[in-house]
Amino acid sequence: MNIYYMNGAGNDFMVMDARDNENRDFSALALEYCRITGADGFMAVGKSEIADFRLHFYNADGSRGEMCGNGARCICRFAHDMGIAGEEMTVQTDAGIVPGWRIDENQYRVKLNNPSILDLNRKEDIAYAELGDPGVPHAVAEYSGDLWGDAEAIREQMRALRFDPAFPKGANVNFYQTLAEGEVRILTFERGVEDYTLACGTGTGSTAAVMWLRGQLPGKVLTAHSRGGTLKIVLEGEGETVTSILLEGPTEIARIYEI
């Protein structure tokens, strides 16, 4: 059996094709396989009656996740490269159906789940968003300093917000630093990893949605620099409702392990 080590803008995953047996203990496999590389998460491809395939996503601590944006982009590449799906595909996730597209060998785009909750002032000036239903929970705040330079100094602040009672499901915490109109740096402290990750796709999408509602993204296109790479978000919306969030960025199959 092969396990594929993949990353999307530095967000890294252990991936397997589990269509022949979806009764495995994926939580235990996530703990075992993520230790091999220190990966952020584990993904297994399963069968689906309503999409081209199903995504089973688990964090590195063995907890199941509703969805993962960069993971969805990586699983789309995996499905295309393995002949499971074509250049356009649909992925069944716990948060809802996610369409995906192959742009070229490395670049993939997915349509993230629309927000089921989008509260700009959940905790003072910290916004809260859930993409999908049940949604992936994100706290989002603008940072006025040197975000990456201050990363170690603000780690405990972000860790505390991850467990803050204002976010009853716990939250992935995303700080963004505005560089120019439509361009930011992002830093994410991710639940289930319990530390910084090099990129977060749903966090980037949540940040773009929050910025647009705050009037900070009039062009509805966000270039987001994470420490692992650059992601692009294209939004659609009417009034105060986000109707589409497209996430685009790089993917890589870094290594194949024979287990």
Q: Which residue of the set 34, 74, 76, 200 is catalytic? A: 200
pLDDT bracket for residue 1 (50, 70, 90): confident
Give me the pLDDT at residue 259, please: 84
Based on the fold, state whether residues 155 and 190 are members of the same structural domain. Answer: yes
Tens digits of residue pLDDT in 187-220? 999 999 999 999 999 999 999 999 999 999 999 9
Based on the fold, state whether residues 140 and 69 are members of the same structural domain. Answer: no
Q: Which residue has the tokens 């602040």?
A: 157
Tens digits of residue pLDDT in 69-81? 999 999 999 999 9
Give me the pLDDT at residue 232, please: 98
Q: What is the mean pLDDT of residues 21-36?
A: 96
Based on the fold, state whether residues 122 and 230 are members of the same structural domain. Answer: yes
Indicate the length of the chain as a whole number.
259
Based on the fold, state whether residues 80 and 138 are members of the same structural domain. Answer: no
Give me the pLDDT at residue 135, please: 86
Based on the fold, state whether residues 148 and 69 are members of the same structural domain. Answer: no
The CATH number linked to 27 is 3.10.310.10
Q: Which residue of the set 34, 68, 74, 76 is catalytic? A: 68
Based on the fold, state whether residues 82 and 168 are members of the same structural domain. Answer: no
Based on the fold, state whether residues 72 and 162 are members of the same structural domain. Answer: no
Give me the pLDDT at residue 134, please: 85
Residue 14 predicted with pLDDT over 90:
yes
Peptide bond connecting 137 to the previous residue in cis, omega within 30 degrees of 0: no
Backbone conformation region of residue 164, classed left if phi is above 0, alpha if psi is from -120 to 50, else beta: beta
Based on the fold, state whether residues 119 and 245 are members of the same structural domain. Answer: yes
Give me the pLDDT at residue 239, please: 87
pLDDT, averaged across the chain: 96
Tens digits of residue pLDDT in 97-150? 999 999 999 999 999 999 999 999 999 999 999 999 888 899 999 999 999 999
Based on the fold, state whether residues 218 and 138 are members of the same structural domain. Answer: yes
Q: What is the mean pLDDT of residues 223-227?
A: 97
Q: What is the dihedral of CA 67, 116, 140, 176, to 10 degrees?
A: 70
pTM attached to this predicted model: 0.93
Structural domain containing residue 87:
2-108+251-258
Based on the fold, state whether residues 125 and 95 are members of the same structural domain. Answer: no
Based on the fold, state whether residues 159 and 192 are members of the same structural domain. Answer: yes
Rounded CA gap, 87 and 102, in Å? 5
Which one has a higher pLDDT value, 135 or 6? 6
Based on the fold, state whether residues 183 and 168 are members of the same structural domain. Answer: yes
Instruction: Give me the residues paired with residue 117 across strands.
Output: 130
* 68 is a catalytic site residue: yes
Which one has a higher pLDDT value, 45 or 238? 45
Nearest to 12, CA basis, from 36, 45, 39 = 39
Tell me how many domains the chain contains. Answer: 2
